[in-house]
């Protein structure tokens, strides 16, 4: 069972640059019906912004995977089955 003690132990393992976003996530759980600002700045430069829009989010994350792009691997070979009639 997960309890506060276990969560606190895991929080101690979080790198410093992710603490702001973790804080925002925790704060968002206090008022779950309100829209929370979970801004993830470029290069993990997290800032508490009160005026943050969807466009700001896209602009701040655009190109964040440019150093390690997502590639689709080989599809592989599949057995040939009887055709459906």
What digits encode the pLDDT tens for the residues 3-42? 889 989 988 998 888 888 888 888 888 776 665 555 555 4
| Tens of pLDDT, residues 57-75 | 777 777 777 777 778 888 8
Total structural domains within the chain: 1
- For residue 85, is it within any domain? no
pTM greater than 0.85 (yes/no): no
Closest CA to 54 of 44, 34, 42, 39: 39
- For residue 46, is it within any domain? yes
Closest CA to 37 of 48, 26, 22: 48
pLDDT tier, 50 (very low <50, low <70, confident <90, very high otherwise): low
State which residues form the domain around 56: 35-62
- For residue 44, is it within any domain? yes
pLDDT tier, 52 (very low <50, low <70, confident <90, very high otherwise): low
């Amino acid at each position: 069972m997960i309890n506060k003690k276990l969560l606190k132990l895991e929080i101690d393992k979080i790198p410093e640059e992710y603490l702001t976003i973790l804080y925002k996530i925790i704060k968002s759980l206090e008022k779950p019906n309100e829209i929370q600002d979970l801004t993830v700045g470029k290069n993990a430069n997290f800032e508490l912004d009160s005026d943050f829009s969807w466009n700001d989010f896209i602009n701040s994350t655009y190109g964040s995977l440019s150093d390690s792009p997502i590639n689709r691997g080989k599809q592989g070979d599949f057995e040939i089955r009887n055709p459906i009639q």
